[in-house]
Structure 1
Amino acid sequence: MPPSPSVSSFLPLFLLFSITHLSLALNQEGLLLLRANLPIPGWSAAAATPCNWTGVACNRWGSVASLSLSGASLSGAFPISLCDLPYLSNLSLSNNSFNSSLPAAVSACRNLVSLDLSQNLFQGPIPATLSDLPFLRHLNLEGNSFSGQIPPSFGSFRQLETLMLTENYLQGTIPAALGNITTLKRLFIAYNHFSPSPIPPELGNLTNLEELWMSGCSLTGPLPLSLCRLQRLWNLDLSNNLLSGPIPSQIVELTSIEQIELFNNSFSGLLPQLGWPHLTRLRRFDASMNKLSGIIPSQLCELPLESLNLFENNLEGLIPESIAISENLNELKLFRNPLSGMLPRDLGKNSPLQILDVTHCNLTGGIPEFLCSNGALEALILVDNVFSGSIPASVAKCKTLQRVRMKGNRLYGEVPDEFWGLPNVYLLELHDNLFSGVMSPLIAGATNLSKLSISSNRFSGSLPREIGSLDALIELSAGDNEFSGEIPSSIVNLRQLWRLDLSNNDISGGIPIGIHDLVQLNELNLAQNRLSGPIPDEIGNLPVLNYLDLSHNRLSGAIPPSLQNLKLNKLNLSSNLLTGNTPPLFASDAYSDSFLGNPGLCIGACSHRGGSGRSRVFSWLLRSIFAAAVLIFLVGVVCFVIKYRKLGQMKKNRAAVTKWTSFYKLGFSESEISGCLKEANVIGRGASGKVYKAVLSNGEIVAVKKLHNRAFRDTSSNAIITSLDSDGDGFEAEVETLGRIRHKNIVRLWCCCSAGGCKLLVYEYLPNGSLGDLLHKAAKSLLDWPTRFKIALDAAEGLSYLHHDSVPPVVHRDVKSNNILLDKDFGAKIADFGVAKVVKSKNGLESMSVIAGSYGYIAPEYAYTLRVNEKSDIYSFGVVLLELVTGRPPIDPEFGEKDLAGWVRSTLESQGTSEVVDPKLGLMTFEEHVSRLLDIGLLCTSNLPITRPSMRRVVNMLQELSAVMPNSQEKKPRHSI
């Protein structure tokens, strides 16, 4: 029944009154906050004032003075209406997903004292109008996608104390006008895309400056003397630049300095020798990875330092004894310097020393006895020196030790019993010394030990049965010693063991029963001992055994047929007492050297036909003559083929002197490309050459790679590639591979040119550069999780095509984030096929003469066996997945002796997933999704090749994961960098 007319007429008026009443209940500032359309739980018009809302703080008069909405999952444009709040002095919107440009109207927030927009996706130029904010003291824009130059107008800030612009895409040069902000205390502009340029000397006018962070800014030239006038400066970080020349002696005038970071530059000459006593506050000095020469200043070592890093220089002479005086020293890294003399005898006596690394320093003498006097020593790295003497008893009892590396010295004597059983040591390397004595049963106490390498010493006696209790042991290398007795039966309890090397000892008895329980075993080397008895049939059941050497023993009986189940890169059973026939699989030429020196063994089926002695001699003579004739014929054929191929190659080379080959219909010529090869157009330098950006007359942009005449080690990218003389021409490899491949996730090669000594590859230009640059050298906040996942899937599909759909298959051999390029929509494409290898062998394995790849990406078995197949690429791709999840590079000093894969595994076990995931990702929406991709990365980086999935399987897993990608308001970037 409809309401009466009187009720109907009053209903709209009642609703209007209710809405008006609610609006009147909330003050004007609350309405302004609601107008900003920020979806913050608890913000409601039902309140009288916003002062109790989440993130809101009011002054004593009840007006909004501070708004802190960090990590609130906000996105979209900057809420400019907040500038209408008349008393707003502090605004923090950090760690969100705002993805617009920052409007110039932000200057309307006239009363701002602090503005924090860090860790967002803001793009475009930084508004020059920010300097119009008269009261602004703290400006934090780090971790965004701002581009363009730092506005010169910033020099007119009136009260600014903190300016933080790190990890953006800022270009141009650092403006000298910044030297006008005399109120500035903190200037952080590290890791931007500045053009190579010197440090503006005007920064020396910042007399109130306390912290200066300009790492990774492409700074060149000498260190300006004007910076040495900054008397309040306590933190100076100019690392990872191109600075050169000497470190000025005036640096000792920075009397307030506590930390100096100058590593990874090109500083040369001597360190200042005098004036260091004035730096009474200096705690950390790092000038490593430069070109410094001369001696280490004794005055520097007399300071109360906590950390002294001078590694990878050309420093000579003695390590000053005064370094042992410091009561704070916890880190001393001097490795890879041509030093001489001994370690200071009192080192560690007065300080809580934690890390000592003097690898490759040519040091002599003994190991100082006080290194662990304060019970803090964790890493003792003495690799490849000339140390002699024995291990001090005090060091042997140092229970805090975790990494011990003493290989390549002249240390001798018995290893103290306590040293074998240190409870926290996970890496113990003593090989290539002169140690003697026995391995103590106390080794049972080394419960964390994962690698024990004691080869090439004079150890004797039997291996203790207690060694079988080391559940974490992955590698046991004890070859080239004088061990005797039998292999302890308990060794089959080492279920994590990956490598077992007891070769060249005096071990007797049989191979232990139950060896099939070592299901992770990849390498078994028991050669050159006195082992006897049969080869256990159960060895053939080891699922991932790759290397088997039982040569030069006294093993007898038949070769177990089960060995045919193994997928071996090496098999050596020579010089034993084996009898019978070899299993059929081993009758091929591939195993011709595997069974030498076994008189009773027949390759294939043995013949036992009778006959007179004379007929047997005659038959043998005929066979010999026939074999000789065949050999001569084959030699002739081989010589003919070699000469024919050389002649053909010479013709081919002559024909290729000025050869221009295109693989698509092109709109440009060779001469136009050559005109673009200018230093100003260089956009990348790699292990095989320079890459240029070429803008053509028709408006098209291409990338041109000009190859070096020879290969080299690229120290910037840690790449190792094969010599063009030893393993084929990188130019030919890339042309052969890319010229015939058509796939959306593999970079397209337009054409190539070989003109005399100049070899060029012209391929499509991808505007967003490499994944490695975005993750590790730029503002990785640009890469939200959906974008990172899309990159992973695209790259996986490209590799899957190479492995499974290309005919013949192709192994890339240098998969890494720097070789995954991104187009304008962040689609990923595999690039750089300079060391790729077409797989021609039936078993998918190719033997290389040297290692190719990049440190941190090389599969363990590849580095050892020089055998390559698609499993090597899968390991490298797994490292890329871990980079996408963690945001960390494949190798990092923070990882210690580990690479990224090892660090992730150990950190997951000890601290959980949250400690390995890139904090820029924000796990609220994607936590489960990120964890599942992390699991795929760990599966791909398994130490055992057989347990790694195929790339086709990886693509399937990623596609399944793509189907359950959570819905999110996070934006996917669509602009080019």
Structure 2
Amino acid sequence: MTWTVASDWKIVEWNEWDMKHLATSILFNPNKHEEMRNTKVRTFRDEASTRQKEPNALLKWKASLDNQSQSSLSSWDGNGHCNWTGIICDKSRRVHQLNLSRFGLKGKLHGFSFSSFPKLNVIDLSSNYLRGTIPSGVGNLSRLTYLDLSSNNLSGYIPFEIGKLRSISELYLESNILTGSIPPSIGNLTDLSFLYLHKNKLSGSIPQQIGMLKSLYKLALSDNNLVGSLPPSIGNLSNLSGLRLYNNKILGSIPKEIGMLGSLEGINLSNNSLSGEIPASIGNLTKVNSLYLSANNFHGSIPQEIGKMRSLIDLELANANLSGLIPASIGNLKNLSYLYLHLNSLSGFIPSSIGNLTNLIDLFLQCNKLQGSIPWELGKLQSLHQLILFNNSLSGFIPEEMNNLTSLVTFEVSENYLFGHLPQQVCLGGVLESFTAHDNYFTGPIPKSLKNCASLYRVRLEHNQLIGNVSEDFGIYPNLDYLDLSGNKLIGELSSKWGQCHNLTNLRISNNNLSGELPSELGKATQLRVCDLSLNHLTGGIPKALGELKLLFNLMLNDNHLSGSIPPEMGMLSSLVHLNLAANNLNGSIPKSLRQCESLLELNLSVNRLSGGIPSEVGSLSFLQILDLSQNFLIGKIPKAVGNLKSLEKLNLSHNKLFGFFPSTFDDMLSLTSVDVSDNRLEGHLPDNKAFREASFEAFRNNKGLCGNITGLEGRIV
């Protein structure tokens, strides 16, 4: 039974024992009644005062925030703080949890009185806009088990007093702007399971005391500026499951003690400055499923013991300065899905044991020094999506078994010494996107399966000795972005189907034996940036429709048999940077509309049958660096406007019928380094310009009467 007793400040409840004790005291000691009453009242008043501290402290902190934040906390008003947004109280109505994650709060923590919340167990203020430093008063929260201040704009040091939070099990301070060192006092947090300090600007070394956190399950210190070496004490973290230290500046060797972390499932030490050898003890980590050591400065080879890590799914050792052989034991990793060993100095053969990795999805071995042939066992990797072997010293044939890889999305074997035929069924699965085999010694036909391979995005087969008919071997590719077949022995005519490749940005089929005319449908490939069909046997005129290629910045049609005039529509190519129509049979005048190609750096119309004068509009091409109009039938004077080309470096007007004097504007062409005006009818003084002064005699010969202070000329008239 309880009784309700009214005091002058609060109604309280006394139990039966309290009432009996009070009655006895009054019976034998009449003064006791007054003493007890005063004691009770003082106790209740003290408790009330303590309880009132918490809502007062919360309201004070709220008042320190900006107006919008205060609006988000509109429920923080009046009595009943245990019902306020983000507040959870215990049975004694003390604040137990403060959870205001993602409230858009703007302000500082210095207005928060940590000492007013002795029973606070959880603080989550993550994903707000809090700024300023973490107050040292946070160390007063002796009962705190969970602290999350991540994803704010907090700056300054992690306070040393953080080490007083001896009950804490989860500490999240990531994604802030914290600086300074990790305080050694962190080693006092022996109950800590999760320590996330990544994505800050922390510096200094990882403290040796980190090894005292024997309950630690996840350690994330990535994306900081940490230096120094990994402390051997890290081997004491026997419960550690995840270790993320990537994107720092950590030095030295990986300590052999890392092999003691038997619970570890994931390691990421990539993008540091680690050196030395990868320790053999790493093979003891049989539970690890992901090992990332890329972008470091190791020396030595991949340890044979890596083959003991049979739980590995993802092994990334790229760009790590590794040398030596790929260990055959890697074939023991039957669960491996991703193997990245590229950008190293690995040598020797590709081990045939890789053919045992039937779960492999990605195999990246490019940019090494691998030799020998591609093992036929790779043809057993039915799950393989990406096979990338370019830039090695591989030789021999591509094995027929490669045709079995029907899941291939990327197949890249460029820049090797491979020969023989390309795999004819490389796109049998219909999912191939990137096929590159350029700069090898392949012969024979274009793979048959490419014709209907609608998934293609990039094809690079240039600089081989492939044969075939381009009008028969290729189809329509809605996703194709890049095609380069240059430097082969292909024949045939360009199909109008290329105009239906609406995503094509690069069409390069130079230096082959193509014939026929340029299809006007090519103007429908409106995403084209580069069109290089030079060094072929193309005939006919340049289609006006090419003027529709508004994104084109490189048009190379030189060294063909094109005829007719240059269409004025070329002036519509406003993005054009390089225009080379040299060595054709083009006639007519140079179109004035080219002045609209304001981005031009190179204009080469040499070795044609162009006539008329040099249009003064050429002088509007203010970015032009190379102008070659040589070996045509151009007549008239050199326009004064040509001297306005202040960026021009190379000028060749030789072998024309130009006459008259050089414009005075040529004296100011300070960027000019090379000039040739030979075989014209020019006369008078040469410009006072370094390029003219240093040019050879041959650059001016066979004119009507040029003179000047030129090396080899010395005032002579030529």
TM-score over 0.5 for the pair:
yes
> Residue 402 of structure 2 aligns to which amino acid in structure 1?
L
Alignment of 1:881-892 (within 5 A): none
Alignment of 1:423-462 (within 5 A): 423-462=478-517
Alignment of 1:779-858 (within 5 A): none
Say whether the 8 Å CA contact 2:270–2:292 is kept in structure 1. yes
Q: 2:333 aligns with which of 259, 274, 279?
A: 279
- How far apart are residue 45 of structure 1 and its match? 4.3
Equivalence for 1:767 = none
> Taking structure 1 as reference, are residues 423 and 290 closer, same or farther at Cα in structure 2, changes over 3 Å only?
same
Say whether the 8 Å CA contact 2:450–2:473 is kept in structure 1. no
> Residue 355 of structure 2 aligns to which amino acid in structure 1?
C
Rounded to whole Å, the distance in 1 between the matches of 2:286 and 2:587 is 76
| Percent of residue pairs bearing the same amino acid type | 32
Whether 1:69 aligns to 2:125 is: yes
Rounded to whole Å, the distance in 1 between the matches of 2:681 and 2:432 is 67
Deviation per residue, 1:629-670 (Å, 9 max, x gap) = 9899954979xxxxxxxxxxxxxxxxxxxxxxxxxxxxxxxx
Choose between structure 1 and 2: higher helix proportion: 1
Q: SS state of the match for residue 180, structure 2?
A: strand
Rounded to whole Å, the distance in 2 between the matches of 1:88 and 1:183 is 22
Equivalence for 2:467 = 412
Say whether the 8 Å CA contact 1:164–1:188 is kept in structure 2. yes
Say whether the 8 Å CA contact 1:541–1:562 is kept in structure 2. no
Equivalence for 1:97 = 153
Say whether the 8 Å CA contact 1:578–1:601 is kept in structure 2. yes
- How far apart are residue 522 of structure 1 and its match? 2.0
Q: SS state of the match for residue 204, structure 1?
A: helix
Say whether the 8 Å CA contact 2:323–2:345 is kept in structure 1. yes
Alignment of 1:62-211 (within 5 A): 63-64=96-97, 66-79=122-135, 88-194=144-250, 196-211=251-266
> Taking structure 1 as reference, are residues 570 and 24 closer, same or farther at Cα in structure 2, changes over 3 Å only?
same
- How far apart are residue 376 of structure 1 and its match? 2.6
Equivalence for 2:344 = 290
> Taking structure 1 as reference, are residues 180 and 45 closer, same or farther at Cα in structure 2, changes over 3 Å only?
farther
- How far apart are residue 290 of structure 1 and its match? 1.6
- How far apart are residue 626 of structure 1 and its match? 14
- How far apart are residue 142 of structure 1 and its match? 0.8
> Residue 322 of structure 1 aligns to which amino acid in structure 2?
E
Equivalence for 2:21 = none
> Taking structure 1 as reference, are residues 103 and 627 closer, same or farther at Cα in structure 2, changes over 3 Å only?
same
Rounded to whole Å, the distance in 2 between the matches of 1:509 and 1:279 is 65
- How far apart are residue 330 of structure 1 and its match? 1.5
Equivalence for 2:654 = 596
- How far apart are residue 556 of structure 1 and its match? 2.3
> Taking structure 1 as reference, are residues 418 and 359 closer, same or farther at Cα in structure 2, changes over 3 Å only?
closer
Rounded to whole Å, the distance in 2 between the matches of 1:494 and 1:164 is 51
> Taking structure 1 as reference, are residues 268 and 47 closer, same or farther at Cα in structure 2, changes over 3 Å only?
farther
Say whether the 8 Å CA contact 1:332–1:356 is kept in structure 2. yes
CA RMSD of aligned residues (A): 3.4
- How far apart are residue 410 of structure 1 and its match? 1.4
> Residue 206 of structure 2 aligns to which amino acid in structure 1?
I
Whether 1:507 aligns to 2:562 is: yes
Equivalent residue pairs, number: 598
Q: SS state of the match for residue 452, structure 1?
A: strand
Whether 1:520 aligns to 2:575 is: yes
- How far apart are residue 116 of structure 1 and its match? 0.9
> Residue 130 of structure 2 aligns to which amino acid in structure 1?
L
Equivalence for 1:53 = 85
Say whether the 8 Å CA contact 2:546–2:569 is kept in structure 1. no
> Taking structure 1 as reference, are residues 416 and 343 closer, same or farther at Cα in structure 2, changes over 3 Å only?
farther
> Taking structure 1 as reference, are residues 202 and 29 closer, same or farther at Cα in structure 2, changes over 3 Å only?
farther
Rounded to whole Å, the distance in 1 between the matches of 2:255 and 2:483 is 49
Say whether the 8 Å CA contact 1:329–1:352 is kept in structure 2. yes
Rounded to whole Å, the distance in 1 between the matches of 2:276 and 2:637 is 73
- How far apart are residue 25 of structure 1 and its match? 13
Rounded to whole Å, the distance in 1 between the matches of 2:89 and 2:606 is 82
Whether 1:328 aligns to 2:386 is: no
Say whether the 8 Å CA contact 1:27–1:48 is kept in structure 2. no
Equivalence for 1:301 = 355
Rounded to whole Å, the distance in 2 between the matches of 1:395 and 1:299 is 30
Alignment of 1:652-731 (within 5 A): none
Equivalence for 1:352 = 407
- How far apart are residue 383 of structure 1 and its match? 2.2
Whether 1:343 aligns to 2:401 is: no
> Taking structure 1 as reference, are residues 135 and 29 closer, same or farther at Cα in structure 2, changes over 3 Å only?
farther
Deviation per residue, 1:693-729 (Å, 9 max, x gap) = xxxxxxxxxxxxxxxxxxxxxxxxxxxxxxxxxxxxx
Say whether the 8 Å CA contact 2:408–2:432 is kept in structure 1. yes
Rounded to whole Å, the distance in 2 between the matches of 1:487 and 1:416 is 19
User: Whose radius of gyration is greater, 1 or 2?
Assistant: 2
Say whether the 8 Å CA contact 1:364–1:386 is kept in structure 2. yes
Say whether the 8 Å CA contact 2:391–2:415 is kept in structure 1. yes
Deviation per residue, 1:305-338 (Å, 9 max, x gap) = 1111112211101112222222321222212110
Say whether the 8 Å CA contact 1:29–1:85 is kept in structure 2. no
Rounded to whole Å, the distance in 1 between the matches of 2:159 and 2:197 is 14
Rounded to whole Å, the distance in 2 between the matches of 1:373 and 1:633 is 66
Deviation per residue, 1:530-573 (Å, 9 max, x gap) = 11222222223432223221121122233333223333322222
TM-score normalised to the size of structure 2? 0.76
> Residue 209 of structure 1 aligns to which amino acid in structure 2?
L
Alignment of 1:693-772 (within 5 A): none
Deviation per residue, 1:771-817 (Å, 9 max, x gap) = xxxxxxxxxxxxxxxxxxxxxxxxxxxxxxxxxxxxxxxxxxxxxxx
Deviation per residue, 1:142-173 (Å, 9 max, x gap) = 11122222221121113111111112222322
Say whether the 8 Å CA contact 2:637–2:658 is kept in structure 1. yes
Equivalence for 2:39 = none
> Residue 398 of structure 2 aligns to which amino acid in structure 1?
L
Q: SS state of the match for residue 363, structure 1?
A: strand
Q: 1:473 aligns with which of 528, 545, 565?
A: 528
Whether 1:554 aligns to 2:554 is: no
Say whether the 8 Å CA contact 1:119–1:144 is kept in structure 2. yes
Q: SS state of the match for residue 404, structure 1?
A: strand
> Taking structure 1 as reference, are residues 36 and 145 closer, same or farther at Cα in structure 2, changes over 3 Å only?
farther
> Taking structure 1 as reference, are residues 295 and 559 closer, same or farther at Cα in structure 2, changes over 3 Å only?
same
Question: Unmatched 5+ residue regions in structure 2?
Answer: 1-44, 98-120, 663-679, 683-700
Question: Unmatched 5+ residue regions in structure 1?
Answer: 1-19, 609-623, 639-977
Rounded to whole Å, the distance in 2 between the matches of 1:518 and 1:323 is 47
Deviation per residue, 1:811-853 (Å, 9 max, x gap) = xxxxxxxxxxxxxxxxxxxxxxxxxxxxxxxxxxxxxxxxxxx
> Residue 69 of structure 1 aligns to which amino acid in structure 2?
L
> Residue 429 of structure 1 aligns to which amino acid in structure 2?
D
Deviation per residue, 1:864-913 (Å, 9 max, x gap) = xxxxxxxxxxxxxxxxxxxxxxxxxxxxxxxxxxxxxxxxxxxxxxxxxx
Say whether the 8 Å CA contact 1:30–1:49 is kept in structure 2. yes
- How far apart are residue 607 of structure 1 and its match? 9.3
> Taking structure 1 as reference, are residues 36 and 241 closer, same or farther at Cα in structure 2, changes over 3 Å only?
farther
- How far apart are residue 396 of structure 1 and its match? 2.6
TM-score normalised to the size of structure 1? 0.57
Rounded to whole Å, the distance in 2 between the matches of 1:496 and 1:596 is 32
- How far apart are residue 292 of structure 1 and its match? 1.2
Q: SS state of the match for residue 99, structure 1?
A: strand
Q: Which moved more, 1:154-163 or 1:362-371?
A: 362-371
Say whether the 8 Å CA contact 1:522–1:544 is kept in structure 2. yes
Q: SS state of the match for residue 387, structure 1?
A: strand
Say whether the 8 Å CA contact 2:606–2:628 is kept in structure 1. yes
Rounded to whole Å, the distance in 2 between the matches of 1:417 and 1:553 is 32
